[in-house]
């Protein structure tokens, strides 16, 4: 099992603030994905990053894959209450079918 540690575990911020969530591992991943999960629902894919150093933007969300493909970050600009949810990073390693999920970051954006 390849462990992906996310930090912080919990984050509560005011609407309009910026935040960064980190996903770290000692293992190399062929690709890394970010998901958001809302209560009572399944995770929803936000982005996949494949190349070391890659940066992808999705409106106010910016995702970066580390140069060594062992870590990733998610930055949210001007957070909104609709951003509230559980954010999960996940990486493929040890085979194309082995998707390992991170420990999760629970974000609450207060109006």
Partner 1 sequence: DTAVSQTPKYLVTQMGNDKSIKCEQNLGHDTMYWYKQDSKKFLKIMFSYNNKELIINETVPNRFSPKSPDKAHLNLHINSLELGDSAVYFCASSHLGGGQFFGPGTRLTVL
Q: Do the bridges between strand 10-14 and strand 105-110 make them parallel or antiparallel, or are there none, so unpaired?
A: parallel
Residue 17 CA neighbour count, 13 Å, CB half: 14
**The one among 29, 63, 65, 100 contacting partner 1 by CB under 8 A:** 100
The string of DSSP codes covering 20-54 is: EEEEE-SS--SEEEEEEE-TTS--EEEEEE-STT-
Residue 99 beta carbon to partner 1: minimum distance, rounded to whole angstroms: 6
Residue 63 structure tokens: 């995702």
- Site residues for partner 1, window 29-88 (CB under 8 A)? 30-31, 33, 37, 40-45, 48, 86, 88
Give yes or no for residue 98 binding partner 1 (CB under 8 A).
yes
- Which residues are at the interface with partner 1 (CB under 8 A)? 30-31, 33, 37, 40-45, 48, 86, 88, 90, 92, 95-101, 103-104, 106
């Amino acid at each position: 099992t390849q462990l992906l540690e996310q930090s912080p575990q919990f984050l509560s911020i005011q609407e309009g603030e910026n935040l960064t969530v980190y996903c770290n591992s000692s293992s190399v991943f062929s690709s890394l994905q970010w998901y958001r999960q809302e209560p009572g629902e399944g995770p929803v894919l936000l982005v996949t990053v494949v190349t070391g150093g890659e940066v992808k933007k999705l409106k106010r969300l910016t995702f970066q894959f580390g140069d060594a493909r062992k870590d990733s970050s998610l930055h949210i600009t001007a957070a909104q209450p609709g951003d509230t949810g559980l954010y999960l990073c996940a990486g493929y390693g040890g085979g194309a079918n082995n998707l390992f999920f991170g420990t999760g970051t629970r974000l609450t954006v207060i109006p």
